[in-house]
Amino acid sequence: MEGLKLSMEGIEVAYNSDIVVLNDVAVTGRPGEVTGIIGPNGAGKSTVLKTFFGLLRPRKGSITLGDQDITRQKAFQRALEGIAFVPQHRSVFADLSVRDNLLLGCWPFRRDKKRVARAIESVFDEFPVLAERPNAAASSLSGGQQRFLEIARALVIDPKVILLDEPTAMIAPKISKEIYALTRSLADRGATILLVDQNVRSCAEIADRLYILELGRNKAEGTREDFASDDKLREMVSEWMNYKIDA
């Protein structure tokens, strides 16, 4: 996996043209790193990922992938550039089979049959639970398996950047643990990971860098070590999240 730096600068996003939900926000994800985005409810964490992926269009600011300005690109174009997004809410195509869900994940290179076959084989190797039921309807899978399918579908394009929005929400603890381990492993293999998570403890444990958002603005940022050693930052996280980040 070969990651690319993804960053946003001075981003302003508004719903219905007058409700500003992101105000002058700057976030950067780096290759080989897990970048955690945390903050209280309504901070704008998920909005950051949706804006990165092009589902929301910023009023101000810029988004760059590597050296390329992708601010004006649409979501499907960003997918073609190698940005994968696993949204918080279920995104499997319920009545399509596991294999068809994965085949749709290969849409950007659908005409390259050999690459499609390789990609599917590769994710089946990584997710044996999916390989066991390739023809099962996605809706027949458990919540955890559906989440694996969503992640597997994101991985078939061999993404440069993976945006994960609350990947363990409503998922059993055992599966959650596997998802965090996989997230860390993907970063270690070179991918750029941006992770939004309510579970600050788990997020902080695997993240290399953390951003804290509050009411649609950057509140604090730093490496995991910064958060562990800076009393002010530790206190901020402790106060909001009821959790102390240790070195």
| Residues at the contact surface with another protein, assessed by CB under 8 A | 53-55, 74-76, 79-80, 84-87, 90-96, 100, 103-105, 107-108, 110, 153-154, 157
Which residues lie below 8 Å from residue 19, measured CB to CB, with a gap of 6+?
Answer: none
State the Cα–Cα distance between residues 141 and 160, nearest whole angstrom: 28
To the nearest whole angstrom, how small is the minimum distance from the Cβ of residue 196 to another protein?
Answer: 15
Nearer to another protein, 157 or 213 (CB): 157
Give the relative orientation of helices 113-126 and 98-105 as an angle to the nearest 10 degrees.
120
Query: Given the complex with another protein, which of 16 and 242 has the nearer CB atom?
Result: 16
Name the burial class of residue 29, with classes exposed (0-12), middle (13-18) and buried (19+) by CB atoms within 10 angstroms of its CB.
Answer: buried
**Shortest separation between residue 126's beta carbon and another protein, angstroms:** 18
Cβ at position 245, least distance to another protein in Å: 31
Nearest to 86 by CA among 9, 203, 205, 196: 196
Q: Is the dihedral of CA 40, 195, 93, 73 positive or negative?
A: positive
Between residues 27 and 151, which has the closer beta carbon with respect to another protein?
A: 151
Min CB(76)–another protein separation in Å: 5
Our CB check for another protein shows the closer of 49 and 175 to be 49
- Least spacing, CB of residue 110 vs another protein, in Å: 6
Which is closer to another protein, CB of 44 or CB of 54?
A: 54
Cα 46 to chain centroid, rounded: 9
